[in-house]
Structure 1
Amino acid sequence: MRIKVGLIGFGRMGRCYLKEMQKSGRWDVLYICDVDADSRELAKRLSPESKIIENEQAIFEDERVQVVGLFALADSRKEQIEKAIQSGKHIISEKPVADTIDKEWEVVDLTENGENLSTVNLYLRNSWYHQAIRQFIAQGEIGELAILRICHMTPGLAPGEGHEYEGPAFHDCGMHYVDLARWYAGCEYKTWHAQGINMWNYKEPWWIQCHGTFQNGIVFDITQGFVYGQLSKDQTHNSYVDIIGTKGIARMTHDFKTAVVDLHGVHHTHHIEKPFGDKNIDVLCDLFADSVQTGIRNPQLPLIRDSAVASEYAWEFLRDAHTHDLPAIGELKILEQIRERRKNMKNGYGLLPK
C-alpha cells in the first residue's frame, strides 16, 4: 500500500520531495498546498493526480492523509506541527523546525510527547559518503577520533535572498555542519570561539569560522560562508570534511556531482568516487516510508531534537562572532552587483527559482 501524503510548500524543496516521492512509487501525493498561484499552477502540471490547494487545513482534516511534508517557511512550521499532532499525522519537516529557538524547543516537546513519527531533513546524515566514513571510524581504522575539520564555501545565496526566516548564512546553511560535527563526535559541544567578517559591509557576517571542543575532548573547526567568488567569471567552491584520528584519517570532497572519499586506516586504504546525491531526499523518504509501514522508527532518521540542538548552537556561534572584532570589508554596491548578476544567471550556486 502506498503511503498517503500531503505536501505544504511547493518551492524548491517541496518540488524536490515531490520528484523523489513520484520516483519511488511508495507515496500517493493526495495534496499539494501553496499560497502562491504560480506554484500551484506548476504543481498542477507536475502532479495532475494531486489536489492542489491554497488552504492547508484540508490536509489536516482529511483522515486518509498519513504523512504531512512541511516545506514552507520556517515561521509556519510550529503551527503546522501542532495541527499534525492533533490530527494524528506523521511529520517530515525541513529545518529549522520553527523561526525562533524557543519555538523550536516547544516543537521538540510536542513531537517527543506525541505518538506520531517525525523527522527533519538534516540531509548530510543520509549521504553515502558520511555513512562510509562513520563505518570506517567505527571499525577502529583511524584510532580514536581526535580532530574534525569541516568547510563549506560557495558563492551560494547572497544576503536578502531567502534567509529572512532562517537567519544568516551560518544558521541557514551552517547548522547542517554544526549538526554534522556533533553527529561525528557523538557528544555535545563544550567550548567555542567564532570569528566572522561582514563582507560587502553587510549588517551580518556572511562568513564564519568557529573552532572549539566537545565534552569528550574532540576538537573541531567549522568554516562556512556564501562569499566564495561571487563575481568571479567562472564560479567555483571549496567543500570538504577532514577527520583526523590517533592512527589514520578520513576525508571527503565533492563538486556537487561526484563525491570523493579517501580513507587511510591502519589496515585498509580506500579511494571511493560515487555520485554526490544532492540533498539525499530519496534516502530520507525511504527511511520514513519504512518507519510508517512497520510502525518502528528507523534509528537512522534524524530527530526533531537534533535540528533544535544544531540550530541553537549555530545561533550561539553567530552571537559569539558578534562579541569579537567583526571587520567589514567591501561596499554594499558590490553586493548590489552580486544580486543583479544572480538575477540573470542560468548556471551557478544556489540559484533562485524563476
Structure 2
Amino acid sequence: MKDSQIKIGIIGLGRMGRFYLDEMKKSEKWNIAYICDVNPEVRKEAEGLAPEGTRIVADEQVIFEDESVQAVGLFTLADQRLSQIEKAVRYDKHVIAEKPIADSIEREWQAVKLVENSSIIATVNLYLRNAWYHHVLKQFVESGEIGELAIIRICHMTPGLAPGEGHEYEGPAFHDCGMHYVDIARWYAGCEYETWHAQGMRMWSYKDPWWLQCHGTFQNGIVFDITQGFVYGQLAKDQTHNSYTDLIGTKGIARMTHDFKTAVVELHGVTRTERIERPYGGKNIDVLCDLFARRILEGKLSPDLPPMRDSAIASGYAWKFLQDATMHALPAIGDNATLEEIRQRRRTMTNGYGLLKHFK
C-alpha cells in the first residue's frame, strides 16, 4: 500500500498541524514519513500520535533532503513559511500550507512567484472554498434563481482567540481569520475589490482592532459588507456566536448559517424554495487533502484547489481594510484587566471556541 501512497513530511504539529495529521491518517492516499517540530514536548506527544514507521525529527532539513519525500505540509508560524517554500522549490517538494503564506504581503508575493515559476504543486488552506454550503450557494446564484447577484453580506463573530494568543505573525483577528471572508466574498463576486471603508473597534483597549466591519464595492458593481471579530461574549456564562453568509440578488436570495455542527442553507429563488441541513464540516481539511492528493497522483488541474496567489490577494486586501480602519476614529472600549480575565478563563477552558493546546 505504501508504494502507491504520497510520501509527505509534516512540519509543525500545533493546532492546525494536528488537524492535517488526523485527516491524513484516515486516508489511504498518504504515507506520513516525517513529523517535525522544534518543541521537544510536541515531539514526545507526536510519538503517540504518529502512524507506525513515521520519523519524529527536530530539524526540517532532514525532510527536505530526503529525495523519497514528495510533499511537505507547512503548518508552522507564518514567519517561517517563505524560507520553507524556498526549500520546497529547491528540493522539488509539493506544498500544502496554512495561510498566510508569509509574515508580510511583500514576502507572500515572493512565495507566490517562487511556486509559479517552479514545477511543484502548491496549495493553501482557504478552507471556505472547500465548504459544501458555499458551493451550493454559488451554484444557486449561477443558475439565475436570484437574478443578478447584487449584495454579499458575511458575518463571523465568535469568542475565538484573544489578543496575544498566537497572532503575532498572522496579524490582528481580521487578517488571521478575516482574510477567509475577504477571499470568499471575492470568490462569489468573481472579480477584484474596487472601493472600501472600514470601521474597527479596539476592544479591551488592545493596540489592534479585534472587531472590524468593512463595506464597499467590487469592480463589477456588486456591494459587500464583511464583519469579523473575536469579541463575541468571551466571559458569557454560556458562549455563543453569530455567523452567516447572505447573498441578495435582484430577484431572490440565498443564505447560510451554522452552529459549528450543522450548516443550514436556505434558497429562495424565482422557481424554487429549498432548505438544506447537513453537517458543518469544520475546516474541511479532509477535502483539501483529498484534492491535493488527487492533483499529485493524477497530475490534473483542479479548479477547486486554492492557489497561493489567491491567498496573497486575500491577505493583501485584509491588510488594506485594516489600514483603512486606522484612518478613521478607532474607539477603545474595555480595559486590560478584562482582557487578562478572558485570557485566564481560556487557559482553563476545556470546551469553547478556538482553544489552544497547553502542554504540562
Shorter-chain-normalised TM-score: which range?
A: over 0.9
Q: TM-score, normalised by structure 1?
A: 0.99
- In the TM superposition, 1:3-14 aligns within 5 A as 3-14=6-17
Q: How do 1:198-237 and structure 2 match up within 5 A?
A: 198-237=202-241
| Structure 2 residue corresponding to 1:35, chosen from 34, 38, 41 | 38
Residue correspondence of structure 1 range 238-253 to structure 2 within 5 A: 238-253=242-257
1:22 maps to 25
1:164 to 157, 164, 168: 168
- Asked if 1:96 is matched to 2:100, the reply is yes
Instruction: Give the structure 2 partner of residue 288 of structure 1.
Output: 292
Unaligned runs of 5+ residues in structure 2 are none
Equivalent of 1:108 in 90, 109, 112:
112
1:279 aligns to 2:283 (yes or no):
yes
Q: Which runs of structure 2 are paired with 1:1-354 in the superposition (5 Å)?
A: 1-47=4-50, 48-354=52-358
Letter paired with 1:117: I
Of residues 226-235 and 42-51 in structure 1, the stretch that sits farther from structure 2 once superposed is 42-51
TM-score, normalising length from structure 2? 0.97
Deviation at 1:345, TM superposition (A): 0.6
CA distance in 1, matches of 2:87, 2:111: 12
Q: Deviations over 1:149-200 (max 9, x none)?
A: 0000000000000100100000000000000100000000000000011111
- What is the aligned length? 354
Q: Which moved more, 1:37-46 or 1:277-286?
A: 37-46
Shift of residue 49 of structure 1? 2.3
What is the distance in 2 between the residues matched to 1:103 and 1:290? 29
SS in 2 for 1:35: coil
Give CA-to-partner distance per residue, 1:234-267, whole Å, 9 cap, x none: 0000000000011111100000000000011111
* Alpha-carbon displacement from aligned partner over 1:106-154 (angstroms, at most 9, x marks no partner): 1111111111101000000000000111111111111111000000000
Shift of residue 352, structure 1, vs aligned partner: 1.1
Aligned partner letter, 1:4: K
Residue 216 of structure 1: SS of its match in structure 2? coil
Judge conservation of contact 1:117–1:297 (CA < 8 Å) in 2: no
| Amino acid corresponding to residue 278 of structure 1 in structure 2 | G
Aligned partners of 2:210, 2:53: CA distance in 1, in Å? 42
Q: Secondary structure at the match of 1:279?
A: coil
- Gaps in structure 1 of 5+ consecutive residues: none
Identical columns (%):
69
Shift of residue 296, structure 1, vs aligned partner: 1.6
